[in-house]
Amino acid sequence: MQFFAGVFLLILTLSVTIKARKCPEECSCDDTKLTVACVGKNLTEIPLGVDEITVKLDLKNNNFQMLPRGAFLHTPYLTQLSLQRCSIIKVKEGAFRGLGRVVYLNLAYNKIDILYQESLDGLSSLKELHLDHNHIEEIQPGAFIQLGFLSMLALTHNHLVYIPNMAFQGLQNIKWLRLSYNSLNNLAPEAFTGLFTLSRLSLDHNELQFFPTLTMMRLPEVKRLELSFNPMTYLGEESVLMGKLTHLYLDHMSLQDLSDQAFSQARLLSHVDLGHNQLRYLEPLSGPTKLDVLNLTGNPIYCNCYMRPLKDWTTIGGVRLLGACAGPPHLSDEPLQGVTSLDLRCRSNDEEEEEQKNNENTTATAKPRQTVKCPLNCECDTEAHHATCESRGYNKVPRGFSPRTQLLDLRGNHFHFIPSSSFPGTGQVVSLHLEFCKIHEIEGGAFQGMRNLLYLYLSDNDLMSLEAKTFAGVPQLTYLHLEGNRLTQFPGAALSLVPNLFVLHLERNAISKLEPAGLLSSAAPKLMELYLSNNTISNIAKGALSFALIKTFHLDSNQLTEVPADALTDVPHLEELNLSQNSVRWVGPRTFQGISQSLQRLYMDQMGIEKMSTEALLGLGPGLKVLTVRGNQLKELPDLTALTGLEMIDMRDNPLVCDCALLPLRRWMESVNLEVSATCGHPLGLRGQQVGDTNLFSTCPDNTTALAEAAAVGPRPVKIKSTRGKTRPEKLKLDKLPRGQHRRKAAKQKKAKYKKMKKANRGN
């Protein structure tokens, strides 16, 4: 190698001494460094006559418009090529062919709009590629396929809206991918698949409204993720499934709430930036054990007793807590790090009111309050952009809110009827509360103009139907609460105006059937969660559930007499199904076949099930994590053999017949290393005893004959070996509640938290 390099240098020196190197007249050439610069010459074509031996070519600030095929074939030794600010619109396929040594290519500040499949072919050694500040709106599949050595790709300041599946295929050594300052609002689930070496991903200054959980799951090595300046309002439970992530930037978003379980699957997080959001309060974060810094700078944190758990948690864990209190007045601007747990108090209402009065007095004299637009009797918090007129006896929607209001709370008034255009000048409102307002009718276009509305709470009113134009003018609506009304039909027609709907709550209404005529598929193409608990549904027609993407479906407390197996074939991505508290006596074979590929949690408690076919669960496999059949009339169980992935199973309160036929179940329970709850109902002598109790089966013959006999009488023998080999990891039992419990816990906490926040709001 060295020998050849020596020979090469020798030849080089000879050629240089023999004749001066070529240098185009518009350029300046350095013969010793082998560089050529033709900068700012308004060139329209790549200059001819650049010496073949050149290693560094600087062509910035020219006017090439187009790079033709084979444009650099004459300079095969180039290692660095600068083409920024050259008005390049199009890079023809094969433009860089022959540049197998280039490690640095700068194409920034041009006008490229499409990256064609072969635009970058030939750059097989490239390490750094600058494509920032262009007009790229499309990346064709395979555009980067030949860049196996690229470690940094800059695509910032372009016009990307969507990243399709496998867009970056071929980047086998990529470390840092920069997609900041685009208009990304959607990332396909496999957008980043194959980037096994990526450790840093910059997605700040885009339009992402949700944390792209699925997409990010495919990035096993990412340690640093920048998502600042995206319009996310909420981060749900287990949003961040990134096991190696250490640095997460979520500042300058619109977060109003954050589940304490949001980071439960990102245990290595050490630095979390939540600065400049709208968080008033935060719970201790479950999951990260190595957190160093939690940055809450610029949030309207209300420092009362509800912040105490977080404070204690950060103190014990040595977490640096950055930010300051926004209230109550005596703690205003106090750094969170300096506030002690004892300072974080909630006093009785009287004291608090007293204090508020005092304060009003002092502020009134010391510095007059900023005058803010705020209707009579309402409270408007300018800093947090919240306005509340809760339970103020209004019978018409009040007007005159600040146009910057983001949260508008009008619950507990008596509006009865909401006429069209009831909310003028509220284009910034993200969240609108109208619970408990005795509303029985909403005129079409009532919310017209609320173009940023994401959350609409219409729970606990008297609505019997919704007219088709109800949600005209709120195209962003994502979370809709209609629970606790008197709707008799699924409001399919009204939903067709809110194509971004993600979560729909319809619990506690009077819906009795679901029919295809409800236009469901066209109504809510993005719907992920549908809650229909506690209606009177007795029939779900096939074709009624054509929600392509739905993952969570609650049908509990209805009047179903059979599991709607046919209709369920229309929701092939369903992960959670709650059927509890219906009256279904018999569950036939292969009932869940249609959703067997996706189903993870199945709840069938208190349904009066007397018998399940041995093959009732056929089709379900290791994907099923939770199964509950508590409080039924089951004497025996279906075949559970294939459910090797269960994390929780609840069979309590069934009159199981505890004879040797149940031995396989007992064995299976041992083998899965789970807490399995099952009690005997028969024979009488054993009633109430745990199936897991060792004595029950001590007299059973412990051999294969017995198992075969058992198979003949009761549930099919469980292949013990198949599960024993795969005992659940201990941690599931020790430090992780099964998912179902998480959810319930989270729901409970959420309720508690909501109450707290309400209180805290009042305290303000």
Ligand X SMILES: *[C@@H]1O[C@H](CO)[C@@H](O)[C@H](O)[C@H]1NC(C)=O
Residues at the site binding ligand X, with contacts judged by CB under 6 A: 42, 44, 63, 251, 273, 275-276, 293, 295, 297-298, 322, 358, 361, 508, 533-534, 554, 556-557, 578, 580-581, 603, 701, 703, 705-706, 740, 743
Contact call for residues 217 and 193 (beta carbons, < 8 A): no
292 versus 343: smaller Cβ distance to ligand X: 292
- Three-state SS string over 172-194 comes to CCCCEEECCCCCCCEECCCCCCC
- Chain length of the chain: 764
Q: Distance between CA atoms of 532 and 123, rounded to whole angstroms? A: 56
**Between 291 and 446, whose beta carbon lies closer to ligand X?**
291
DSSP three-state, residue 362: helix
Q: Over the Cα atoms of the chain, what is R_g? A: 32
Nearer to ligand X among residue 276 and residue 280 (C-beta): 276
Distance CA 531, CA 466 (A): 17
The CA distance from 244 to 64, in Å, is: 44
Helix (H, G, I), strand (E, B) or coil at 504: strand
Of the pair 546, 578, the CB lying nearest ligand X is at 578
Helical segments of 341-454, H only: 349-366
**489/533 with CB nearer ligand X:** 533
Whether the bond between 375 and the residue before it is cis, its omega within 30 degrees of 0, is no
- We find the least distance from the C-beta atom of residue 361 to ligand X, in angstroms, to be 4
Dihedral angle computed from the Cα positions of residues 483, 486, 492 and 494, in that order, rounded to the nearest 10 degrees: -90
CB of 323 to ligand X, least distance (A): 8
* Shortest Cβ 142–ligand X spacing (Å): 34
| Rounded least distance, CB 228 to ligand X, Å | 8
Which residue lies nearer to ligand X by CB, 116 or 697? Answer: 697
Residue 42 or 370: which CB sits closer to ligand X?
42
Min CB(644)–ligand X separation in Å: 22
Retrieve residue 228's tokens.
């600042």
Question: Of 146 and 578, which CB lies nearer to ligand X in the complex structure?
Answer: 578
Largest CA distance in the chain: 109
Do 747 and 291 contact (CB within 8 A), yes or no? no
Cα 32 from Cα 51, distance rounded (Å): 13
Q: How far is the CB of 704 from ligand X (least distance, A)?
A: 8
Residue type, 181: Y
Are 180 and 156 a contacting pair, CB within 8 Å?
Answer: yes
Q: Which of 645, 729, 749, 763 is nearest to 257 (CA)?
A: 749
- Cα angle 299, 305, 307; round to 5: 35
Nearer to ligand X, 187 or 310 (CB): 310
- Which residue lies nearer to ligand X by CB, 638 or 740? 740
Q: Which is nearer to ligand X, 54 or 202 (CB)?
A: 202
Min dist CB 277 to ligand X, Å, is 10
- Per the CB < 8 A criterion, the answer to whether 465 and 441 are in contact is no
Of 251 and 647, which has the nearer Cβ to ligand X? Answer: 251
Q: Which is nearer to ligand X, 298 or 664 (CB)?
A: 298
Name the minimum Å distance from CB 630 to ligand X.
Answer: 10
Q: Which amino acid type is present at position 502?
A: F
**What are φ and ψ of residue 325, in 5° steps?**
-70, 140
Task: Convert 580-636 into a string of H (helix), E (strand) and C (coil).
Answer: CCCCCCEECCCCCHHHCCCCCEEECCCCCCCEECCCCCCCCCCCCCEEECCCCCCCC
Closer residue to ligand X in complex, CB, 233/534: 534
Beta bridge partners of 257: 234
User: Least distance (Å) from ligand X to the CB of residue 607?
Assistant: 10
DSSP annotation string for 248-298: EE--SS---EE-TTTTTT-TT--EEE--SS--S--PPPSS-SS--EEE-TT
C-beta of 348 vs 704, nearer to ligand X: 704
DSSP-derived pairing of the beta strands 56-58 and 80-82: parallel
Q: CB within 8 A of 145, min separation 6: which ones?
A: 117, 169, 170
Q: Read off the tokens for 217.
A: 């799951």
CB of 276 to ligand X, least distance (A): 5
Which residue carries 């968080």 as its tokens?
A: 279
> Reduced to 3 states, what is the DSSP secondary structure of residue 576?
strand
Cβ within 8 Å of residue 477, ≥6 positions away: 453, 454, 456, 471, 498, 500, 501
For ligand X, the closer CB: 177 or 710: 710
- Taking the least distance from each CB to ligand X, the nearer of 118 and 204 is 204
Shortest Å, Cβ 486 to ligand X: 11
- Residue 350 — φ and ψ, nearest 5°? -60, -50
Query: Nearest approach, Cβ of 146 to ligand X (angstroms)?
Result: 33
Least Cβ distance, residue 484 to ligand X (angstroms): 7
CB-based contacts of 352, cutoff 8 Å, min separation 6: 328, 763
- Are the CB atoms for 301 and 738 separated by under 8 Å? no
Residue pointed to by tokens 């294939």 = 642
Instruction: Supply the minimum distance, in Å, between the C-beta of residue 365 and ligand X.
Output: 7
Measured from the CB of residue 49, what is the shortest distance to ligand X in angstroms?
19
* Helices assigned H by DSSP within 463-531: 492-495, 520-523
Kindly state the smallest distance separating residue 386's Cβ from ligand X, in Å.
21
CB of 257 to ligand X, least distance (A): 19
